[in-house]
């Protein structure tokens, strides 16, 4: 499957170079309108139309920040398109020269961080939404992401998992859980980071902490989690079994 061919089949997407540039930037990690603007050297307003067009045609998914409204995040909708953008396109000359093994070896770092990583994070969010009642003892209606400003350290923290419950009456939905989803092994340092983020996130004081790993957990983290009711460890078997 070729991204160029798919774009050519879509009416209203005549400027294929622009749309391919947007897809490549999103696949490379520029997931917000401002980040795309910086990556492409265009104004934020000028990237809004191609973003909307790619969402309407199914190439991109658009997700609102579940805590800070009106701050959408964009992701490649199809993992195969993401694979083409991250692995194939930057190494097309190698593939055309039948040097596929060399191209594949060169792509491993990006493949893991930009293809497998985002896909696993999405699977983890879907798992938490489906298994919320069993996992943390509360119904979950929405699971998304958010970015937390750390004023003390002048930095930001991205949360892979923010699980919201239904709330009551006219009140906003409650934050039932926050979490991390990674391909690598997770340890007590990851738990400490989430504990700190929980103190900075309004309304998350009593939220559970969910750590999802495709590679398992360090012994220290397993011991800590076994002695706490607010920490839940989820492995890859759990994600695929539910």
Give the pLDDT confidence of 69-108 residue by residue, as tens digits. 677 889 998 888 899 889 988 999 999 999 999 999 999 9
**What value does the mean pLDDT take over residues 122-147?**
92
| Residue 8: count of CB within 10 angstroms of its CB | 11
Q: Higher model confidence: residue 14 or residue 240?
A: 240
The Cα–Cα gap between 65 and 70 comes to: 7
The mean of the pLDDT values for the chain is 88
**What value does the mean pLDDT take over residues 202-214?**
94
Does 235 score more than 80 pLDDT? yes
Neighbouring residues of 86: CB distance < 8 A, sequence distance ≥ 6: 27, 28, 107, 110, 111, 114, 115
pLDDT per residue as tens digits for the range 40-74: 988 888 888 889 889 988 889 999 888 876 778 89
* DSSP code of residue 142: E
The Cα–Cα gap between 32 and 25 comes to: 10
Q: Which of 35-44, 186-195, 222-231 has the lowest mean pLDDT?
A: 35-44
pLDDT at res. 15: 67
| Residue 190: count of CB within 10 angstroms of its CB | 20
Distances (CA, A) of 74 to 133, 164, 195, 213, 235: 28, 20, 27, 23, 26
14 pLDDT band (50/70/90 cuts)? low
pLDDT at res. 169: 46
Does 239 score more than 70 pLDDT? yes
Does 1 score more than 50 pLDDT? no
pTM: 0.86
5 pLDDT band (50/70/90 cuts)? very low
pLDDT per residue as tens digits for the range 151-197: 887 788 889 999 999 865 445 678 999 999 999 999 999 999 999 99
């Amino acid at each position: 499957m070729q991204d160029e061919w798919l774009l050519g089949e879509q009416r209203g997407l005549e400027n294929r170079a622009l749309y391919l540039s947007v897809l490549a930037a999103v696949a490379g990690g520029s997931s917000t309108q401002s980040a795309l603007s910086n990556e492409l050297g265009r104004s934020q307003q000028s990237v809004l139309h191609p973003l909307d067009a790619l969402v309407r045609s199914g190439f991109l998914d658009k997700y609102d920040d579940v805590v800070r409204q009106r701050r959408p995040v964009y992701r490649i909708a199809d993992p195969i398109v993401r694979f083409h953008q991250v692995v194939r396109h930057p190494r097309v000359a190698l593939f055309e020269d039948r040097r596929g093994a060399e191209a594949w070896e060169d792509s491993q770092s990006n493949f893991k961080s930009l293809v497998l990583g985002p896909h696993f994070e999405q699977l983890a969010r879907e798992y938490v939404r489906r298994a919320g009642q069993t996992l943390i003892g509360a119904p979950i209606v929405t699971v998304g992401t958010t970015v937390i400003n750390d004023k003390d350290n002048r930095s930001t923290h991205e949360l892979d998992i923010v699980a919201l419950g239904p709330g009551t009456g006219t009140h906003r939905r409650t934050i039932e859980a926050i979490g991390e989803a990674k391909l690598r092994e997770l340890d007590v340092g990851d738990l400490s980071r989430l504990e700190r983020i929980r103190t900075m996130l309004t309304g998350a004081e009593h939220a559970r902490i969910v750590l999802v790993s495709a590679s398992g957990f360090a012994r220290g983290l397993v011991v800590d989690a076994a002695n706490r009711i607010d920490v839940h460890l989820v492995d890859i078997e759990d994600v695929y079994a539910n």
